[in-house]
């Protein structure tokens, strides 16, 4: 939600759709350099696929015909098999664009991955450490560091703290993060994200 205010009309690094389908929600990352991830939240559980274009596990680095690295997708359970071939997660030839994959069925006690033999000599072979860096440090301060570096602008920490506590979006947050942002556009983005909006802000916009 914070990034949607800082950059309400441009391509964003992180985005969220509360209505990815009738039964699913999805979080996405696109860094503009070919690296990306998607997290699908479904009644069956959650599925994550990530792609680091410089990873030695890239489908494009080791075969004349691109193919996922052995083990990355081989053990994906039936509950999530549709995501392996999901057009949004594959290239124009149907090859899964993936270097890392995780899943967790709704009743499972922990996350699971396939059995992957990683090539030697790489500190982060599948890109998972840096791709999911902010997910592993879910704090306002971490997001502030990212956003100020990426957008080259100051980002109000108090507004971020409100968002991390899921306090409803109001005019104060917009003024703190981007006073030039169109309120109607921000409210529309909040609806896409599924983020709560203060009643008075909706009344003012209406």
pLDDT in the model for residue 63: 66
Cβ atoms within 10 Å of 30's Cβ, excluding its own: 15
- Tell me what pLDDT residue 202 has: 80
Write the DSSP string, 117-159.
Answer: -PPTT-SSTTSHHHHTHHHHS-SHHHHHHHHHHHH-S---HHH
* pLDDT, mean of residues 119-133: 95
- Tokens representing residue 161 in the block: 């703290």
Q: What is the pLDDT of residue 206?
A: 55
Would you state the pLDDT for residue 184? 93
Q: For residue range 137-190, what is the model confidence (pLDDT) as tens digits?
A: 999 999 999 999 999 999 999 999 999 999 999 999 999 999 999 999 999 999
> Closest by alpha carbon to 177, among 191, 197, 163?
163
Mean pLDDT, rounded, for 85-93: 96
- The mean of the pLDDT values for the chain is 95
pLDDT, tens digit, 9 for 90 and up, residues 30-64: 999 999 999 999 999 999 999 999 999 999 986 67
Q: What pLDDT is stored for residue 64 in this prediction?
A: 79
pLDDT at residue 204 tops 70: no
Which pLDDT does position 109 carry in this prediction?
96
Look up residue 205 and give its two tokens: 């916009």
Question: What does the alpha-carbon distance between residue 116 and residue 32 come to, in Å, rounded to a whole number?
Answer: 27
Return the pLDDT at 205: 61
pLDDT for the residue numbered 10 = 84
How many whole angstroms separate alpha carbon 197 and alpha carbon 132? 28
pLDDT of residue 79 exceeding 80: yes
pTM: 0.93
């Amino acid at each position: 939600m914070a990034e949607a205010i800082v950059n309400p009309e441009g391509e964003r690094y992180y985005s969220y759709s509360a209505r990815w389908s009738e039964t699913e929600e999805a979080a996405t990352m696109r860094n503009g350099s070919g690296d990306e991830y998607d997290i699908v939240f479904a009644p069956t559980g959650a599925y994550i696929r990530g792609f680091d274009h410089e990873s030695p596990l890239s489908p494009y680095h080791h075969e004349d015909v691109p193919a996922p690295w052995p083990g990355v997708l081989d053990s994906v359970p039936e509950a999530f098999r549709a995501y392996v071939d999901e057009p949004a997660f594959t290239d124009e030839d149907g090859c899964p664009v993936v270097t890392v994959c995780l899943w967790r069925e709704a009743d499972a006690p922990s996350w699971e991955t396939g059995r992957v033999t990683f090539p030697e000599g790489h500190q982060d072979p599948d890109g998972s450490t840096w791709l999911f860096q902010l997910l592993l440090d879910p704090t306002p301060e971490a997001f502030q560091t990212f956003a100020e570096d990426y957008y080259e602008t100051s980002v109000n920490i108090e507004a971020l703290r409100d968002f991390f506590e899921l306090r409803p979006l109001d005019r104060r947050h917009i003024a703190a993060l981007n006073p030039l942002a169109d309120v109607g556009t921000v409210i529309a983005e909040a609806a896409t994200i599924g983020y709560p909006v203060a009643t008075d802000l909706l009344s003012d916009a209406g």
